[in-house]
Amino acid sequence: MRTHIIQIGNSQGIRIPKVLLQQCGFSDEVELKVKRNSVIISPAPKIRENWNEAFYNMAKNNDDKLLDAETVSTSEWDETEWEW
């Protein structure tokens, strides 16, 4: 399919027919990459996808420790006035 590059405000773009978007399964966001003088359009990765598996593997490898040391109170106010 051929299409023309069009002016969109201060940018340029192309119109992608709805049928093509549906066939590719694109929704609101896509990821663009340039590869060998071509623009590759892919579905945007889902945020936090596979985090459950990553956390499971961290726990399994005993790699799920806190990186911050316990903080020491820096003032008397912290000790006497502060409440959680």
Average pLDDT of the chain?
87
Q: How far apart are CA 2 and CA 42, in angstroms?
A: 19
C-beta of residue 44 within 8 angstroms of C-beta of residue 35? no
Stated pTM of the model: 0.51
Identify the band that residue 73 occupies on the pLDDT scale cut at 50, 70 and 90: low
Tens-digit pLDDT profile for residues 38-50: 999 998 888 888 8
- 16 vs 30: CA distance, rounded Å: 12
Looking at 1.10.260.40, 2.10.260.10, 2.40.430.10, 3.30.70.120, the CATH number of the domain 1-66 comes to: 2.10.260.10
Residue 25's nearest CA partner among 47, 49, 43, 44 is: 43
Closest to 14 (Cα-Cα) out of 2, 31, 26: 2
Domain ranges of the chain: 1-66
Residues 18 and 26 sit within 8 Å (Cβ to Cβ)? no
